[in-house]
Amino acid sequence: MDDYIKKALAGVTDHAEARMQTARGRHVSVVGGNLVGNTSYVTHGVGARFYKDGVWGFASDSACTPESAAAVIAAAKENAALLHSRKPKNKPALANAQAARYTEARPFRDVDQKALTDYARALDGYIEKTYPDLASRSVVISANCIEKTMYTAEGAFAYQLFPRVYVIVILSAETADGATVELYDILGGGEGYFPDYYDDPAALHEAVDGLYRELMAKKEGVFPNAGERLCIIDSAIAGMVAHEAVGHTTEADLVLAGSVAATNLNKQVASPLISLTDFAHTAFGERAPLPVYVDDEGTECKDAVIIKDGILVGYMNNLESAAHFGMEPMGNARAYAYSDEPLIRMRNTALHPGTDKLADMIASVDDGYYLTRTQNGQADTTGEFMFGITMGYEIKNGKLGRALRDTTISGVAFNMLKTVDMLSDTVHWDSAGYCGKKQPMPVSMGGPAIRCRVNIGGR
């Protein structure tokens, strides 16, 4: 099929892409000792997209044969022609298209389902035996890998693998008033395969013990006093600030739709302490958590600098938006499934670290909160964001006080970032999540602990 696709694209004068993908995954979940989830999946397919004077046609098929590839390419061309005939944009060719090339050398590695079920049940057995007072417990293992082969009309080629694996533990306990409080944590894992991170379940016991101790503190927790407060947002949450609060508003498709970043380019949008980059494959001198080398338009992936010293200096682009804004495309056009067209997506988005020590930051707060865990977050094109907070503590006179029950923080990103006056010197990454746009997408996000003013919910 590769040869057919190469030939089909060889004579195309406008930009066009074709991708073959295989997605594989294994999932195990043990809930209260019951192995309720024990599943695997494998899907294949081919997709193609054609550009026609400013509009696009896309088609895909789960069948993976030269015939299906031919049908997909023909349908994609027809769709582009149909849209051009009814809603022409008459824009120029994508002269900024590149012919990047990358071939992943490491092969895909699978494991037996039994390796996952045995591991999950052993870890669950430890939790059951050690902490019989829990109201509930769950152990989840998720291992997946996206394998992409991509060709473009300009001659770009990429063969890339995106494997991830994580063990997640969720614990809950009953409070004195009969409610239950819950905490979860992602224990290890990252880019790669199950044996790369997980061998002996006992290696996770210490992390489980720590989670249990935090849960016991939360059990006695209080609700925060609602309103705008001085907070230390731990590095475990900073990635959410980078991704949700800022990142989305600087994706060029949302900028074109009128996001707050549209009118703030080259303006001071944050404290001069703040710099934010969407890293391609290397960050702060190390391999980024989820590296990407060539995007799904054939562009070589480079770091997209978004905020430098508090000034908004760039957006994340695809070929079209980069041409529109006169920016260099950095490889942010990514598609999730074979049946998806590339969209502007983040990769490894992080706030840069500062020079402060976390202990000094906490000690600097007379009356506020130290927020340490989040569960979800949402952003608005206005920059207004919301994060669910699942763990945190009061800070009174520079010392940690009582734990907090579940709450929510919110703010307007470019206002909140202007209040940042301390940043810790270490970066924490989180690579387990999916970003939701039109399609899901594995992304990583990171940053240091942040001292700022933010709106916190209460009761």
Considering only the stretches 130-138, 208-216, 232-240, 292-300, report the one whose residues sit in contact with another protein under the rule CB under 8 A: 130-138
Nearer to another protein, 390 or 444 (CB): 390
**Residue 258 makes contact with another protein by CB under 8 A:** yes
Of the candidates 275, 410, 424, 444, which one interacts with another protein according to CB under 8 A?
410
Distance, in Å, from the CA atom of 369 to the CA atom of 231, rounded to the nearest integer, reads: 5
Pairing of strands 190-191, 227-233: unpaired
Print the binding letters for residues 192-221 with another protein: x by CB under 8 A, - otherwise. ------------------------------
Q: Is the dihedral of CA 370, 372, 373, 374 positive or negative?
A: positive
Tell me the closest approach of the beta carbon of residue 359 to another protein, in angstroms. Answer: 27
Nearer to another protein, 87 or 129 (CB): 87
Distance, in Å, from the CA atom of 456 to the CA atom of 10, rounded to the nearest integer, reads: 56
Using CB under 8 A, which residues numbered 286 to 325 contact another protein? none
Of the candidates 14, 99, 111, 121, which one interacts with another protein according to CB under 8 A?
121
Distance, in Å, from the CA atom of 45 to the CA atom of 63, rounded to the nearest integer, reads: 6
- Kindly give, in sequence order, each residue whose CB lies less than 8 Å from that of residue 285, ignoring residues fewer than 6 positions away: none
Tell me the closest approach of the beta carbon of residue 293 to another protein, in angstroms. Answer: 25
Considering only the stretches 95-103, 140-148, 354-362, 400-408, report the one whose residues sit in contact with another protein under the rule CB under 8 A: 400-408
Exposure string (b/e) for 141-156, b if CB count within 10 Å is 16 or more? Answer: bbbbbbbbbbbbbbeb
Nearer to another protein, 396 or 438 (CB): 438
Number of residues in contact with another protein under rule CB under 8 A: 89
Q: Report which residue type is found at 431.
A: S
Distance, in Å, from the CA atom of 438 to the CA atom of 79, rounded to the nearest integer, reads: 19
> How many other CB atoms sit within 10 Å of the CB of residue 394?
19
The residues facing 444 across adjacent strands are 348
Of the candidates 21, 96, 98, 138, which one interacts with another protein according to CB under 8 A?
138
Cβ-in-10-Å burial (0-12, 13-18, 19+) of 119 comes to buried
Rg of the chain on CA atoms, in Å = 24
What end-to-end distance do the CA atoms of the chain give, in Å?
Answer: 59
Pairing of strands 348-351, 444-447: parallel
Considering only the stretches 281-289, 349-357, 360-368, 386-394, report the one whose residues sit in contact with another protein under the rule CB under 8 A: 386-394
Distance, in Å, from the CA atom of 412 to the CA atom of 398, rounded to the nearest integer, reads: 26
Nearer to another protein, 55 or 362 (CB): 55
Considering only the stretches 230-238, 283-291, 300-308, 399-407, report the one whose residues sit in contact with another protein under the rule CB under 8 A: 399-407
Using CB under 8 A, which residues numbered 165 to 184 contact another protein? 172, 178-182
| SS3 at position 242 | helix
Considering only the stretches 106-114, 209-217, 275-283, 356-364, report the one whose residues sit in contact with another protein under the rule CB under 8 A: 106-114
Q: Is the dihedral of CA 242, 248, 252, 255 positive or negative?
A: negative
Of the candidates 19, 347, 405, 418, which one interacts with another protein according to CB under 8 A?
405
Using CB under 8 A, which residues numbered 49 to 78 contact another protein? 55-64, 68, 71-72, 75-76
Nearer to another protein, 285 or 436 (CB): 436
Nearer to another protein, 50 or 279 (CB): 50
Nearer to another protein, 72 or 358 (CB): 72
Of the candidates 6, 7, 42, 366, which one interacts with another protein according to CB under 8 A?
42
Of the candidates 2, 99, 101, 117, which one interacts with another protein according to CB under 8 A?
117
**Residue 367 makes contact with another protein by CB under 8 A:** no
Pairing of strands 407-412, 450-456: antiparallel
**Residue 341 makes contact with another protein by CB under 8 A:** yes
Distance, in Å, from the CA atom of 120 to the CA atom of 135, rounded to the nearest integer, reads: 19
Tell me the closest approach of the beta carbon of residue 341 to another protein, in angstroms. Answer: 6
> SS3 breakdown of the chain: % helix, strand, coil, rounded to 5?
25, 40, 35
Tell me the closest approach of the beta carbon of residue 88 to another protein, in angstroms. Answer: 10
Q: Is the dihedral of CA 64, 70, 73, 78 positive or negative?
A: negative
